[in-house]
Amino acid sequence: MSYCVNCGVELDKTCSVCPLCNTKVINPNQPVDTVSPKPYPVDKGYVDSGIRKETAILMAVCLAATAVVCGLLNLFFITFSHWSFYVIGTCIVLWIFCLPIFFPTKAVFRITLLLDGLGIAMYFGIIAWLHPGNGWYTAIALPLIILGTLAVFFFAISMGHPRSSILSQAVILVAEIGIYSVCVELLTRRYYAVPMALSWSAIVLTCAIIIDVTLVTILLRSRLREEVRRRMHI
Partner 1 sequence: MKTINKTIKHTPKKQHKTWYKLDLSANVYPTLQRRNFSNVFRLSVVLKEEIDPDTLQRAVDLTLPRFPAFKVALHKGIFWRYLEPNDHPGPFVMPDIINPCMPMLFKSNNRYLIRIYYYRCRISLEVFHSLSDGSGALKLLKTITAVYLRLKGHEISNTCGVLDINEPPRPEEMEDAYIKYASSRVKRPRSQGKAYRIRGHREPFYTLNIIHGLLSVQEVLQKARSYHVTLTEYLNAVLLYALLEKQKADHVFREHPVALALPVNLRNIFPSDTLRNFIAMVYPSVDPRMGDYTFEEIITHVHNYMRFYINDKFLNADITTNASTQQSPLIRIVPLFVKDIVVKQFYIRVQDKQSTAGLTNLGVIDVPEEMREFVDYFDVLMGQPFSLRTNCAVGSFGDTLSINFTSTIIETDVERFFFRKLVQEGLHVKIETNRDMNRSEF
The dihedral sign for the CA sequence 32, 33, 34, 38: negative
Coil, strand, or helix at residue 118? helix
18 vs 184 by CB, closer to partner 1: 18
How far is 172 from 155, CA to CA, in rounded Å?
A: 7
Residue of the chain from 37, 132, 133, 195 that contacts partner 1 (CB under 8 A): 37
Taking CB under 8 A as the rule, does residue 42 contact partner 1? Answer: yes
1 vs 196 by CB, closer to partner 1: 1
The distance of closest approach from Cβ of residue 227 to partner 1 in the complex, given in angstroms and rounded to an integer, is 13
How crowded is residue 158: how many other Cβ atoms within 10 Å of its Cβ?
16
50 vs 132 by CB, closer to partner 1: 50
30 vs 49 by CB, closer to partner 1: 49
Taking CB under 8 A as the rule, does residue 39 contact partner 1? Answer: yes
The distance of closest approach from Cβ of residue 152 to partner 1 in the complex, given in angstroms and rounded to an integer, is 22
15 vs 202 by CB, closer to partner 1: 15
Taking CB under 8 A as the rule, does residue 10 contact partner 1? Answer: yes
The distance of closest approach from Cβ of residue 53 to partner 1 in the complex, given in angstroms and rounded to an integer, is 11
Taking CB under 8 A as the rule, does residue 21 contact partner 1? Answer: yes
Measuring CA to CA, which residue among 149, 220, 156 is closest to residue 180? Answer: 149
130 Cβ contact list (under 8 Å, min separation 6): 81, 82, 85, 86
Taking CB under 8 A as the rule, does residue 107 contact partner 1? Answer: no
Residue type, 190: R
H or E element, residue 3: strand 2-3
How far is 142 from 137, CA to CA, in rounded Å?
A: 6
The distance of closest approach from Cβ of residue 39 to partner 1 in the complex, given in angstroms and rounded to an integer, is 4
Residue of the chain from 7, 75, 166, 197 that contacts partner 1 (CB under 8 A): 7
Burial class (CB in 10 A: 0-12, 13-18, 19+), 112: buried
Q: Which residues bind partner 1 (CB under 8 A)?
A: 4, 7-12, 15-22, 37, 39-51, 233
